[in-house]
Amino acid sequence: MLIQDDIYWKQRAKSFWYHDGDLNTKYFHAAATSRKKVNRITHLENSDGVVCHKEKGFQTIARDYFSNLFTKLPSIRASVVSLVPSSIIDEDNFSLTADFTVEEF
């Protein structure tokens, strides 16, 4: 149990140089506690510049951020792609993009 507890605190403290010290030291408890304080998110700012200090607001801001991040935007490549000459004729393109048949499968 002491070894498992030591591994837990070693991972929480993120002290990579520690190899074979004494088990469950006060140093690692303090390091883990200080990391928790440093990594705590106390506020977030939404896209409008409004600062939020509550967890419910954090959820909304995070959801909106990732929704906007992964939403497909209109492409600006169309003008560039239209300048690239096509090397496949329409008939070949149709057969290449057609659905699979049972025989082919």
Query: Over the stretch 39-98, which tens digit does the pLDDT of each residue have?
Result: 888 899 998 999 999 988 999 999 999 998 898 777 777 788 888 888 888 899 898 899
- Does residue 60 sit within a domain? yes
The whole-number pLDDT of residue 85 equals 86
Q: Residue 44 has what pLDDT?
A: 92
Residue 37 lies in a domain: yes
For residue 18, being part of any structural domain is answered with no
In a domain, 50, yes or no: yes
Residue 92, domain member (yes or no): no
Task: Let me know if residue 104 belongs to a domain.
Answer: no
Q: Which runs of consecutive H residues, i.e. helices, occur in 1-105?
A: 2-13, 26-39, 55-69, 78-81, 90-97
Question: What total number of domains does the chain contain?
Answer: 1
79 lies in a domain? Answer: no
Q: Measuring CA to CA, how many Å separate 46 from each of 41, 52, 57? A: 14, 8, 9
Give the percent of the chain with pLDDT over 90.
Answer: 17
pLDDT computed for residue 66 by the predictor:
92
Q: Residue 44 phi/psi, 5° resolution?
A: -130, 155
Q: Which 3 state secondary structure label does DSSP give 10?
A: helix
Q: What average pLDDT does the chain have? A: 80
Please give the residue range of the domain that contains residue 48: 1-12+24-71
Nearest to 62 by CA among 35, 70, 38, 72: 70
Does 86 map to a domain? no
